[in-house]
Structure 1
Amino acid sequence: MQHPPFTALAAVYDTMMDDVEYDQWTDFLLTYARDRGLGRGQALDLACGTGGLTRELLAAGWDVTGLDGSAEMLARARQRLPGSVPLVQGDLRTFELEERFDLITCVFDSLNNLLSTQELGQALTQSARHLRPGGLLACDLNTRLGVRDLWEGGVMEGVAPAADGSEVHYHWSHVYDEEEELGVVQALCRVVRDGGEVEEFTEMHRERGYDPQEVEPLLRAAGFAHWDIVEYPDYAEPQADTPRIWVLAWKGEAQ
């Protein structure tokens, strides 16, 4: 059965993404922040999903709010996170919160789900509006190359054992639409539960890649004063063959 993105997938997301390096990503971005004088404070984790990075920020001593567009993903996050953590359903392009934050994060190529520079600019503008002066936006983006050549052979497949004894059989296929300049992923999952019950679903996901020269004018227009666009994990300058970039952008004077 076909489902909207990040709805049915929420139930198996953590099983499939068990090896995602949320802890190392957190060290990467917080090391950058600390080296420039930004310590603990209020953080907003955009596109927080099931709370993988949110949990790491909490462990590092930050007060964190999570925001995501998917009610299903937020329901899973509520199971993983302390009840005191605010979780808000909202759109990256239009969210409005009363609080202002010292740090805003948005990871795991979530911004690539915005399919035009206009939409990405809207999200960056909303992030800038929700930062305190001197606050930091830390996000990653797949480049155009990264979206075009997402997986070798265009397929990711395997079997992931879940904590409840079930198995998630997945076959994700990727094609690149040259005309639309979009990567299209068909995510097929088949959940085999203990006792033989089978559930199968499909979601379609689309991403657009963004190169540094496309992102920089959007950061400027959003009101950021200074930024670094780097590679993970060594903060090196991106090259022509870089598949994913990290954007570290400051509101107000650079720290």
Structure 2
Amino acid sequence: MQAYTGFAQVYDIFMDNVPYDEWTNYLVGLLKEYGLHSGLVLELGCGTGSITRRLAAKGFDMIGVDISEEMLEIAREIEYNRDFDCSEDFIEGNELPERSNILYLQQDMREFELYGTVSAVVSICDSMNYITSEEDLLKVFQLVNNYLDGGGIFIFDMNTVYKYKDILGDNTIAENREDCSFIWDNYYYEDKMINEYDVTIFVKVDEEVEDEVEADKKEALNEGHEKNKDSSVSLYEKYEELHYQKAYTIDTVIRLIEKAGMEFVTVYDAFTHNPPDEKSERVYFVAREKHQENKLYI
């Protein structure tokens, strides 16, 4: 797994088209459907905490785990400043909740550790696709099973083989914003069922640096290069990152859930209660902790 580094500082800007409120409502609906209305919830691959904060606003006690310290720094800063990025109508009364004291931990989900068990584990935004081998995915599932309360629920989403092969594969996504831009090249290797993301990010430098450069430029122009005297300069820092995600068949995921000792409950076409079809791009899995002989239940 590779952590987001340079991309972390602009991640939320480029993800502002994701309907996080709707995703959270769907997730909360599933949790309640399977008996969880409150309690301690762990989110794996929490990133900058967009879902974590929303679940906290819904009344859950949250732990967020992510491998990227840069992403967690942003999550902690938002939490500290109580800058909850929920829509105005998301929280009843249009008022932000008191600071929720979310616990953020920098850990690799393949070897995460907690001090005790949790009522539920969730993982959203295809974080599980970053686990690029069946062996490692099994480790994650085994750890989840170990840290769930008796009968606890595990809900996670995944991008499908169809999405990687027919939607993302060998395509380029690019966005240009006022202060940043990115180019996202996708390459899907069908034999390994791996999708490679080559991400190039350009982030505008702060105004003080720009002012210094502008002053140097004007000084040079005043020495005899008058024709471009009124032009302006904008400077951007460039970051390059390489990420990999793996496509898994639904049957493979179910097999690994059961091999990890959990009960497979169901799988849905994302944001519905319908079974997946051949053109489902994202699916949600629901699994449940099963009694383990060597596990201490309190």
- Compute the TM-score of the two structures, normalised by the length of structure 2: 0.78
1:181 match = 193
**In structure 1, distance between residues paired with 2:271 and 2:109:** 26
Distance of 1:231 and 1:250 partners within structure 2: 19
Aligned to 2:119: 102
The reply to whether residue 250 of structure 1 matches residue 288 of structure 2 is: yes
Within the candidate set 33, 40, 45, 1:47 is matched to 45
Structure 1 portions without partners, runs of 5+: 162-166
**Structure 1's 40 and 159: CA in aligned 2 closer, same or farther, altered over 3 A?**
same
User: Which residue of 92, 102, 114 corresponds with 2:109?
Assistant: 92
Return the offset for 1:153.
6.6
The alignment covers a number of residue pairs equal to: 245
The corresponding residue for 1:203 is 241
Aligned ranges 1:82-231 → 2 under 5 Å:
82=80, 84-151=101-168, 154-161=171-178, 167-193=179-205, 194=207, 195=210, 196-231=234-269
Structure 2 CA distance for aligned equivalents of residues 160 and 5 of structure 1: 23
> Would you tell me which structure has more strand in proportion to its own residues?
1
Q: Which residue of 2 aligns with 1:59?
A: 57
From 248, 269, 278, the counterpart of 1:240: 278
SS in 1 for 2:240: strand
Q: Give the drift of 1:55.
A: 0.6
Equivalent residue for 1:15, pick from 13, 16, 35: 13
CA separation in 1, counterparts of 2:154 and 2:242? 28
Q: Which runs of 5+ in 2 are unaligned?
A: 81-98, 211-233, 292-298
How high is the TM-score relative to the length of structure 1?
A: 0.90
- Is the 1:5–1:203 Cα contact (8 Å) retained in structure 2? no
Report the Cα distance in structure 2 between the residues aligned to 1:153 and 1:230, rounded to whole angstroms.
27
Bigger Rg, structure 1 or 2: 2
- For residue 188 of structure 2, give the secondary structure of its aligned residue in structure 1: strand
Aligned to 1:25: 23
Shift of 1:28: 0.8
1:164 aligned residue: none
Between the aligned partners of 2:74 and 2:142, the Cα distance in structure 1 is 28
Matched to 1:232, the amino acid is A
Q: Does structure 1 conserve the Cα–Cα contact (< 8 Å) formed by 2:39 and 2:61? A: yes
- Give the Cα separation in 2 of the matches to 1:33 and 1:178: 34
One-letter amino acid of the counterpart of residue 136, structure 2: E
2:31 partner letter: A
Tell me if the contact between 2:169 and 2:186 (Cα under 8 Å) persists in the aligned partners.
Answer: no
Instruction: Tell me the C-alpha RMSD between the 2 structures.
Output: 1.7
Percent pairwise identity = 28
